[in-house]
Amino acid sequence: MSVFEAGMMVCFGISWPVAAYKTYKCKCVQGKSIYFSLLILLGYICGIIHKLLYSRDIVILLYLLNTAFLLLDMFLWYRYRNNPAPVKN
């Protein structure tokens, strides 16, 4: 297991629940790119495949957890994609 890979996954992993919570709270997706999220998803899928084929260790759980939160954020993007951005006073 690589401590550095695990550290990277933890840092990325913190951002997805926060992003999903913010999207859920404001119910808007202004400034979010679904294409960027799809690219990140592709990266996680590649990481999971690599872990399954070449380097089975506990870090795969971080990949799976991050993927789940990313999918949640993508679902929220889809759900709120037509909502207008909140007006700031």
Residue 85, domain member (yes or no): no
Q: Which structural domain, as residue segments, surrounds residue 66?
A: 3-80
Residue 39, domain member (yes or no): yes
Residue 74, domain member (yes or no): yes
Mean local confidence (pLDDT), 24-46: 93
Residue 41, domain member (yes or no): yes
CATH classification of the domain holding 48: 1.20.1280.290
Distance between CA 15 and CA 85 in Å, rounded? 21
Residue 27, domain member (yes or no): yes
Number of domains in the chain: 1
Predicted TM-score of the model (pTM): 0.87
Q: What is the pLDDT of residues 47-70, one digit of tens each?
A: 999 999 998 999 999 999 999 999
Cβ-Cβ contacts under 8 Å for 52 (sequence gap 6 or more): 60
Instruction: Decide if 85 contacts 77 (C-beta within 8 A).
Output: no
